[in-house]
Amino acid sequence: MASAAAATAAAAASIRERQTVALKRMLNFNVPHIKNSTGEPVWKVLIYDRFGQDIISPLLSVKELRDMGITLHLLLHSDRDPIPDVPAVYFVMPTEENIDRMCQDLRNQLYESYYLNFISAISRSKLEDIANAALAASAVTQVAKVFDQYLNFITLEDDMFVLCNQNKELVSYRAINRPDITDTEMETVMDTIVDSLFCFFVTLGAVPIIRCSRGTAAEMVAVKLDKKLRENLRDARNSLFTGDTLGAGQFSFQRPLLVLVDRNIDLATPLHHTWTYQALVHDVLDFHLNRVNLEESSGVENSPAGARPKRKNKKSYDLTPVDKFWQKHKGSPFPEVAESVQQELESYRAQEDEVKRLKSIMGLEGEDEGAISMLSDNTAKLTSAVSSLPELLEKKRLIDLHTNVATAVLEHIKARKLDVYFEYEEKIMSKTTLDKSLLDIISDPDAGTPEDKMRLFLIYYISTQQAPSEADLEQYKKALTDAGCNLNPLQYIKQWKAFTKMASAPASYGSTTTKPMGLLSRVMNTGSQFVMEGVKNLVLKQQNLPVTRILDNLMEMKSNPETDDYRYFDPKMLRGNDSSVPRNKNPFQEAIVFVVGGGNYIEYQNLVDYIKGKQGKHILYGCSELFNATQFIKQVKYIPLLFVAIGIFQKRERKPLTHLNQLQPEPSSYTKIRCRHGRLRKP
C-alpha cells in the first residue's frame, strides 16, 4: 500500500490544482497523468461513495472524466451489474459499511481488476478484511493497487476549502457547542476535523506553523494536529512530508502559517445580510458545492379551471472557474453585477447583429452554416465571424445563466428589502448613528421575513456593548413574537454572551456608504433586464472582519492584545512547548485561516479583498462546514433548549466559565436531560 498524495504535491500551485492533479493521477491508475498524450485512454469504471462524489464534483466535469477514460461513474451502494472485462477504480471512505460492500464486489467478481483508493488512511484491521475477502474469492491477483489518497476535504475555490458535505452535522457548530456533549463525543469530533486537516497539508505538501486561541475548540484541534504531524515527521521511512514534495509550488520559500480560530469569536458575521454576488447567492438561493439550483416560474399561462397548477421547472447551474464572468464578479456588489450582465448582453447582441449583417450582405439570409463555411471568395470577415460562433454561443449560455441567477437574487432583495437590512446592520456593527428605530423595522410587516428580523436583532444584541434593559428586551421580544419569530436563537445568544469572554463585539466590523446616483442610473435604463427601482446602491468600503484582523496580526507579526496570547506550535521542533512566543519573527508570506465551527462566504470575500493589497502574499480560507444564516440559525435554535435543563443542575455551582463546553450536567441528571433533548429536537 502507498500514499499517492505526497507524490503529486509538487505538481501544482493552488490547492484546487493540487487536488485535481491528485484525482487525475488516481483515475490514471495512480500513474502521473500526461495532458497531451495522444494515445487512447484505458476505459474504466469509477465507483465512489457520497464523500468521494462531493470531492470530485466541484473539480472534474463529466467531460473531463470521459477524457480520463471513465465510461461509467456509479455509487458504491447502488445496484451495479457485472462488467467482467473492465477495470474499476474505487474512491471511498474506509468505513465498515464500504469495506463490506467492496468485499461483496470481490466475491461477486464484478470487474476485471480493482484499484482501491481510500479518501482517508485505512486501518490495518480493515485492510486485512479486504485481504481475507480477496483470498476467499480467489481474487488476490485482481486487486491491482491499494492507495491512501489523503484527499479528505472539498476544494471549492483556488483559495477555499471545506472539510465535508456529508454528515456535516457531526462537525457542526451545534455539535461542538452542545452543553451535553460527552468527552468521547468531543474527541470524535476533534479527530474528524484533524484527520481532514492532516489530509489537506499532505496534499499541500507543507508542514505549517500553528497558532490558535486558548480555551476553545480551536486549541483542541491545534494540539491534536500538532501531535499527528509530529508523529508523521518522526517516522522518516513512512513520512508523507518528504524532501521532494516540500517546498514546491506556491509554498516554496517559507512554511505557511495556520491560524485556527473558533466560530465563537464572531457570531455576528454568519448572521449578517450581505451585498456581494457570491455571498448573496449562498444566502438566498440553494447553492452548495458550486452548484446553484433554481425554481423557474412557468410564466402566466391560462390553465383550465380546476386543473392542477403547473409544476415549477428546476434548473441547476454550475458556477465554475471556467466561468470568467463568475470569477470576475463573484466578489462584486450586486448592482455592479446587474450592470455587468447587461453590458455583456449588449456586447453579445452587437456581435450577433454583425454576423447577421454579413450574412445579409453575402445574400445568404436564411442559409445554413454549412453553406456559409464553404464560401471561399471575399468571405474573410464572414468566415471569422462563423468560426467565433462556438465562443459566441458559450458567451450566450453564461449570460443566460447569470441573468437567471441574478434575477432570482434580485427578487429576494426586493421582496425582503435586503438592501435596507444590509445597510442597517453595517451601521450597527460599525457603531454608526442609526437613522431609523430598530423596533420600526421589526414591526414593519413589509420588511423581510421573520428570520430576517431575528437576524437583525441578534446582530444588534451581539454588537451592543451594553445589553438592553429587561424592559427594552421584553418590548423587542414582543415585537419579534408578533412578527412570527422563534425566540430560541435569542436564548442561545444570551447564554453565549453571558458565558464567554467575548461579551462585546470587536470595535469595528465594516462600513458602508450610499450613492444615490451613478451606477444605478445606468443600470435602470429602459433596455435593462433588471428593474432595480427601489433598491439602494450601496458601495462597500473595505473594513477587516474579526477573522481577517486576527490573521493580519499573526501574519504580519503585530503585537495586539487580541492575539498576543495565541498559542504557538511548530510540529518540526523536536519538543513541543506551550508557548505564545513565536520563534520566527519574520512576517509570513502564506497563511491558511481555518474556522472551527463553520465559515461563510462573507469572511472568505473579506480575506480575498484584504490580500489584494498585500503583494506577493497568499491566503487560503477553510472551515469545518460552510453554512448560510438560515442554516446557522437552525443550528443555534435547539442549543438553548438544553441550557434550560442544565441550568436547573448548575445553580448550586458558581464557578467562572470560559467556554460553553464547560457547562456539563451532573451525572445523575444526564439521562433526564438527554430524554428531554430528544423530544425537543423534533422540528
Q: How confident is the model at residue 647 (pLDDT cuts 50, 70, 90)?
A: very low
What is the C-alpha separation between 242 and 5, in angstroms, rounded? 11
Span 318-337, mean pLDDT? 91
Positive or negative: CA dihedral 69, 74, 76, 82: negative
Positive or negative: CA dihedral 484, 485, 487, 490: negative
Strand locations in 198-330, DSSP E? 209-212, 257-262, 286-288, 291-296, 313-318
- pLDDT of 356 reads 72
Span 213-226, mean pLDDT? 93
Residue the block writes with cell 466590523: 509
Which of 80-89, 521-530, 632-641, 644-653 is predicted least confidently?
A: 644-653
Query: Over the stretch 70-87, which tens digit does the pLDDT of each residue have?
Result: 999 999 999 999 998 999
Contact (Cβ atoms closer than 8 angstroms) between residue 241 and residue 234: no
What is the C-alpha separation between 480 and 458, in angstroms, rounded? 11
Q: Which of 513, 506, 588, 581 is nearest to 547 (CA)?
A: 506
- pLDDT of 530 reads 59
- The yes-or-no verdict on residue 649 having pLDDT over 70 is no
What is the C-alpha separation between 241 and 353, in angstroms, rounded? 57
Q: How many C-beta neighbours within 10 Å does residue 20 have?
A: 21
What is the C-alpha separation between 72 and 413, in angstroms, rounded? 42
- Phi and psi at 300, nearest 5°, equal -90, 105
Q: How confident is the model at residue 384 (pLDDT cuts 50, 70, 90)?
A: low
Q: How many C-beta neighbours within 10 Å does residue 70 have?
A: 18
Q: What is the dihedral of CA 33, 161, 157, 278, to 10 degrees?
A: 160
Whole-model pTM: value is: 0.84
What is the C-alpha separation between 632 and 627, in angstroms, rounded? 6
Buried b (16+ CB within 10 A) or exposed e, 417-453: bbbbbbbbbbbbbbeeeeeeebeebbeeeebbeebbb
- pLDDT of 17 reads 93
What is the C-alpha separation between 112 and 142, in angstroms, rounded? 7
Query: Over the stretch 423-464, which tens digit does the pLDDT of each residue have?
Result: 999 888 888 888 788 898 999 888 889 999 999 999 999 888
Which of 239-253, 554-568, 643-657 is predicted least confidently?
A: 643-657
Residue the block writes with cell 457520497: 50
What is the C-alpha separation between 353 and 348, in angstroms, rounded? 9
* Complete edge-to-edge strand list for the sheet that includes strand 160-162: 154-157, 160-162, 618-623, 590-596, 257-262, 209-212, 567-569
Residue the block writes with cell 483542541: 220
How much of the chain is helix, strand and coil, in % rounded to 5? 45, 15, 40
In this predicted model, which residue has the larger pLDDT, 575 or 599?
599
Contact (Cβ atoms closer than 8 angstroms) between residue 478 and residue 656: no
* Complete edge-to-edge strand list for the sheet that includes strand 313-318: 286-288, 291-296, 313-318
Please give the single-letter amino acid code of residue 172. Answer: S
Q: How confident is the model at residue 652 (pLDDT cuts 50, 70, 90)?
A: very low
Contacts of 655 (CB under 8 A, 6+ apart): 662
Positive or negative: CA dihedral 109, 113, 118, 121: positive
Span 24-39, mean pLDDT? 82
Positive or negative: CA dihedral 287, 291, 293, 294: positive
What is the C-alpha separation between 46 and 42, in angstroms, rounded? 12
Query: Over the stretch 488-539, which tens digit does the pLDDT of each residue have?
Result: 899 888 888 877 644 344 444 544 444 433 333 334 343 455 555 556 666 6
- pLDDT of 154 reads 95
Contact (Cβ atoms closer than 8 angstroms) between residue 281 and residue 290: no
What is the C-alpha separation between 28 and 115, in angstroms, rounded? 10
Look up residue 241 and give its three cell numbers.
Answer: 512530508
| Ordered alpha helix ranges (H), 449-524 | 450-463, 470-482, 488-499, 519-523
What value does the mean pLDDT of the chain take?
A: 80
Q: Which of 403, 400, 448, 419 is nearest to 533 (CA)?
A: 419
Please give the single-letter amino acid code of residue 188. Answer: T
Strand locations in 321-418, DSSP E? none
Q: Which of 681, 683, 661, 664 is nearest to 215 (CA)?
A: 661
- Phi and psi at 540, nearest 5°, equal -80, 140
Max intra-chain CA distance, the chain: 97
- The yes-or-no verdict on residue 7 having pLDDT over 70 is no
* CA 518 remoteness from chain centre: 34
